[in-house]
Structures are given as C-alpha cells and as structure tokens.
Structure 1
Amino acid sequence: MTAVMAVALAVAGATARVLVAMLFLAGAMGKLRDLENFRTVLANYRLLPGRAVMPASLALVLAELVLAGGLIGWPRLAAPGAIALLLLFAFAMRVNIARHRDFIDCGCGLSSRRGISNGMVLQNLTLCVLLVPVMLPLAPITGFALANCAAAGVLLYLIIQIFGEMAALRVPRNRTPAAWSQI
C-alpha cells in the first residue's frame, strides 16, 4: 500500500468514526427521550416476538451509546460492533421494504417520522465500508489532521440529518400521512 493510500484510508476512517459516533449518539438520545415510542417502532418491524421487544429496545439503545463512545475512544475495538449494528439496521429495513412495509417509522431517533427506504439501506452499507479502514493497522491521524477529520465528520452528520428531515417531509407515493400511523 502506498503512503498516500494509507493516509487517505486513515483520514476516511477517522472521519467515518466521528460521523457514525454522532449518528449513534443522536439516535440513542432520541430513543431515550421516548423509549415507549421506540418500542412501538421496533415492534412495527415485525422481526421479534412481542416479549423480546422491550429488552431488544434497551439493548439497541445501550449498544448505540457504547459504540458511539467506543468509536471515539477505542475505535479499532468498536468499529466491528458498529459495522454489525449498521448491518443489522440495514437488514431490518430491507426485510420490511421487501414486505412492502416501507411506510413504517425508521426508528432513527429523530424528531420526525420517516419511512424506510433503499436509500437508507445504502447509507448504512456505505457507512460500514467507510468504517473498515478504522480496523486496519494504519498510522493514527493526530493534531490538525484529526481536527479536520472531526470537523468533516460533524459536517457529514449535519448533511445527513438535513436530508433525513427533508425526506420526512415527503409523503410517500400511494400513501397518505394517515397510513403512517396504521400498522
């Protein structure tokens, strides 16, 4: 691997870990604000038996919090778990899209309700790919370069939030807003 490629991978990984940490932290905080609603959202995915929804909802929130902190403090240890969680979210969304249940709330922890989409699945898969360099034995990014990566991660987080909120404003084709509450 060339030195330039190694630096590019390290920068991509450092930026991605800040981005994903912020997504997990914001998601967990949103879910904690209304845990009962998140349990309903999780049940609406119809992937778990009823008695497993409450412990799974708590486990998901805890996993997001732990992984958010881990991506900042112990990135090489936390990256595999973050990738696994993103893949789990992508899988759950894709299963429901295949069931034509794209109108259910994504459960991202945001204030607005938005349905799931293949774009969200692709976003999660892209984040997984971007986290792979974090697990590689690359020279660490430090100093001003690390600050730039953190700023880029924050900026990407804000862009994703803006586009997510804009997507929540759209009414899905052949669906009325009333259909969103009918599960």
Structure 2
Amino acid sequence: MLDPLVIKLLSLAFALLLAAAAWHKLTEPVRFRGILAAYWLLPEALVAPAAWLFAVLEIGLAIAWALGWNPAATAAATAALLGVYTLAIGVNLLRGRIYIDCGCGFGASGGSGQQLSSRLLLRNALLIAAALAAALPPAPRQLLLADYVGLASACVVLALLYLGANQLLLNAQAINSWRKPPAGSNPT
C-alpha cells in the first residue's frame, strides 16, 4: 500500500509530464517527425502516423492521470510507452548513434536538442518505476487540507528537480562535446 498523497503526487506529475511532452509534439510536428525519423526504427511511411500516435497517446495518458481514471491501466500504459522510448534510445546507443536528438522536449533550455546517452536510460527506468508504483493500492486514509498544500509544493519541487536533472544532462552533453577534438583535427 502506498500513501494516497504519494499516489496523487505521482498522478499529477505524470499528467504534467505527458501533457508537456504531447504539447511539444503537437506544436512542432515537423521537427518531431524529423527526430523520430532520425532513430531509423520505422519505415519512412510510418513516421508521420507514429508521431501523431505518440502525441495522442501522451494526451490520453495525461488526461487519465489527471482524472484518476483506472490507475493500474494508466500506470501500465505509461510504463509501456516509456518502455518503447527507452528501447528506441537503447537500440540507437548500441548502434553508436549518440548524436541524435532524443526528442525529450526539443532542447527546451534554448540550446540544441538533448542527445542520446545512457543517463536517459536511467532516467526513463526511474520514470517507469514511478509509474508502476502509482498503481499500488492506496493506504486507507483521507487527505487533509495540509496534504493538498504539501501536494502543491511537492509538485513544484518535482517539476524543478526534473527540469534540473534534464539541464544537468544537457550540461554533461555540452562538456563532453568540448572535450572531444573535432573530427580530423590533430590534438597536438
């Protein structure tokens, strides 16, 4: 059993995360199709329908999390979707294709897109675990006014932590690019 406040927090966090992810896909559809095509996992004819499907799934899941609709199914579907994203990243890491945009927010920090790294696999594994944890049955207790104040504060803190972690991933990517000499250059 999980405290109902934790379940509510995870539900709101996933609703916000998935709504933001869908927003990026819907407001920049051409760019997202390009990112999806760069993974080299789908035939060209399926890229546009898949891009649309991912956005629709994310919207549907965001709404389901926000409304508390069938928590077990919502958690399983979210974990499955994140699993697909994680698998796509993993396949391309194994191929050595690290210099493609992961599609994780389209470089919302103002820089270029976030490139693939093993850190994204860890981040996604943590998100999958959190989604599945939200499917646990709630402990029998009522939420009080103080819980809702704490919930609002915790949502802000979680959002800031997530954005901070993504910025750290982007910073690590930038630092790594500074350390590598350009192709064909002589480092001496």
SS at match of 1:62: helix
Look up the match of 2:160. Answer: 158
Amino acid at match of 1:165: Q
Query: Post-superposition shift, 1:150?
Result: 4.3
The structure richer in helix per residue is: 1
**5 Å matches for 1:97-176?**
97-110=93-106, 111=108, 112=111, 113-139=113-139, 142-144=143-145, 145-169=147-171, 170-171=173-174, 172-173=176-177, 174=180
Amino acid at match of 2:114: R
Amino acid at match of 1:128: I
Identity among equivalent positions (%) equals 28
Distance 1:162 1:131, change over 3 A: same
Question: Hey, what's the Cα distance between the residues in 2 that align with 1:165 and 1:142?
Answer: 34
Look up the match of 1:27. Answer: 21
Distance 1:163 1:150, change over 3 A: same
Q: Compare 30-39 and 14-23 and name the one that shifted more.
A: 14-23
Question: Hey, what's the Cα distance between the residues in 1 that align with 2:152 and 2:83?
Answer: 23
Look up the match of 2:65. Answer: 71
Question: Hey, what's the Cα distance between the residues in 1 that align with 2:10 and 2:126?
Answer: 10
Distance 1:117 1:12, change over 3 A: farther
Aligned-residue CA RMSD (Å): 2.2
**5 Å matches for 1:82-93?**
82-93=78-89
Look up the match of 1:95. Answer: 91
TM normalised by structure 1 equals 0.81
Structure 2, unmatched stretches of 5+, are 183-188
Query: Post-superposition shift, 1:20?
Result: 2.0
Aligned length: 170
**Are 2:58 and 1:56 aligned?**
no
Question: Hey, what's the Cα distance between the residues in 1 that align with 2:30 and 2:56?
Answer: 15
8 Å contact from structure 2 (residues 7, 138) kept in 1: no
SS at match of 1:69: helix
Query: Post-superposition shift, 1:124?
Result: 1.2
8 Å contact from structure 1 (residues 90, 124) kept in 2: yes
Structure whose CA Rg is larger? 2
Q: Compare 149-158 and 47-56 and name the one that shifted more.
A: 149-158
Q: Compare 152-161 and 54-63 and name the one that shifted more.
A: 152-161
Structure with larger RCO (C-alpha < 8 A, sep 6+): 1
Question: Hey, what's the Cα distance between the residues in 2 that align with 1:69 and 1:154?
Answer: 19
TM normalised by structure 2 equals 0.79
